[in-house]
Amino acid sequence: MSLTPPAILVTDPRRWITLVVVGLAQLMVVLDATVVNIALPSAQADLDFSDGQRQWIITAYSLAFGSLLLLGGRLSDLMGRKRTFIIGLIGFALASALGGAAGSFELLVAARALQGAFGALLAPTALAVLTTTFTIPKERARAFGVFGAIAGAGGAVGLLLGGFLTEAFDWRWNLYINVFIAVFALVGALIFIPIIERSGQRPKLDVPGTLLVSGALFGLVYGFSNAETDGWESPMTWGMLAGAVILLGAFIAWQRRAVHPLLPLSIVLDRNRGAAYISVLIAGAGMFGIFLFVTYYLQLTLGYSPIQTGLSFLPMIGMLVLAAQLGTNLFIPRFGPKILVPAGMALGVIGMIYLTFLDTTSTYAANVLPPLMIVGFAMGTIMPASMQTATLGVDRQFAGVASAMVNTSQQVGGSIGTALLNTLAATAAADYLAAHTPVSEAIGVQAAIASYSTAYWWGAGFFAVGAVLAAALFRRRGQGLSLAAAPPSPVVLGADPASVPDAEPVGAR
């Protein structure tokens, strides 16, 4: 009989402030993917770089962020959550300040790459802190509802904030704003996130696995980014994507025999978690498509200013937050992700099809607002349920890398969705112009609308595939650990949480 004393459950009263702190960090990372977009024309005029160079302001961030996410998540497991979180915050703030003060195109690109690198350290650590802080099921649901809402709404917040800062101040404030957010988050982290010392032998970093998967993710993000600018027929596009597939295969083979694997394959091969990662990827593809083409439509067709465009997304954010709270507090405990995530995907299909009816005579209140609200509710239904499931039942010592997989799925989904939808939209516009000659300004406007409609139809197809996959892959309630009824993981006073594994899903063996 074991003489080990019973575990003492500890509920830290500071946990809700911790949620605010990690929420600020997550907001800073997510909104940075879109906040700079609106500032690009002003930055281009100020720094005098070409249209061809402009894409690198976005691509530099995406490449560094996407390729280093799994490394960042694993470093948070090895170095400690608080230490990694603080390093990520300080690095992201300094990189943002450097970008804001940049006097040349090259320095701005370097600063954006540094932002991406520190964001890859910060984002998975924030989710891992949340995963290990909230262990009581009902509180965990509420916390992930808030975090999922931030993850889903951050892009729209970036559009709103970017428009306001660019018009009211200067494009550089789209980068400087991160310094202020980081200061608040840093103070909160220093005070409210506890230091948990690791006991026992420290695992080693899987260097070969890190190099393989970072190279694979770099190839994926670069390949899809290159497809946007140089097309799918470009050797660089196919070369990068083919290289990514080869490196990913080598990574999987290495993880099967590595002594200290970067990403134990059991994490992603679990049906529930695998379904959650796929759902986040598809939702990311659809979400970035919405922001991109609705923004084009509002500004180029309806003539909205950047601030008006950002304000137009507010109802979408409101519906997203509402759905996230309803889902985590009412629907997930009752129905589980197997019902809720496919339902959210189905709403995404409806919202995207609704958007295909937009034309030059459409108005915001009658034709744009309803589908945005539907898609917002869809995202708020999909994201929190998927994010909870993706990190549920994972051994604490791998919480960081499991969390990184969520961010990786969203980033890769955004890259894939943007590249595919951009290509399909451009092809549709070219076909429309070829079929309607002579070309006039009015024909050009109609071609643009036809291209947006094509993108929305394909976006609806993404969500439809997501609905089928989610319904097929998520376990039925009772087959796995319930999100609402999971027993809390014990936190033993004086013990290393990495040595106390979360409850294993029932039926996972």
pLDDT exceeds cutoff 50 at 58: yes
Q: What is the DSSP string of 101-147?
A: T--SHHHHHHHHHHHHHHHHHHHHHHHHHHHHH--SHHHHHHHHHHH
Taking residues 190-205, what's their average pLDDT?
71
Q: Among 41-50, 198-207, 321-330, which stretch is predicted with the lowest mean pLDDT? A: 198-207
492-509 b/e with 16+ CB inside 10 Å = b? beebebbeeebeebeeee
Give the start-to-end residue ranges of the domains of the chain: 15-195+262-483, 206-261
Residue 201's pLDDT band (boundaries 50, 70, 90)?
A: low
When pLDDT is cut at 50, 70 and 90, the band that residue 482 belongs to is: very low
Taking only the tens place, the pLDDT of each residue in 327-339 is 887 888 888 899 9
What pLDDT shows up at residue 127?
82
Tokens of 96: 């943002």
Residue 256 corresponds to which amino acid? R
Rank 416-430, 443-457, 471-485 by mean pLDDT and report only the highest.
Answer: 443-457
- The model's pTM is 0.79
Tens of pLDDT, residues 66-100: 889 889 888 888 888 889 999 999 999 999 999 99
The CATH code that applies to domain 15-195+262-483 is 1.20.1250.20
Band (pLDDT 50/70/90 cuts) for residue 471 is: very high
pLDDT band at 202 (very low <50, low <70, confident <90, very high): low
Question: pLDDT-based confidence at 477, cuts 50/70/90?
Answer: low
DSSP tag of 268: H
Choice between 453 and 477, residue whose per-residue pLDDT is larger: 453
3-state secondary structure of 55: helix
pLDDT digits (tens, 9 = 90+) for 394-404: 887 788 888 88
pLDDT at 422 over 90: no
Is a pLDDT exceeding 50 seen at residue 136?
A: yes
Lowest mean pLDDT among 194-208, 264-278, 463-477: 194-208
Query: What is the structure's pLDDT at 506?
Result: 32
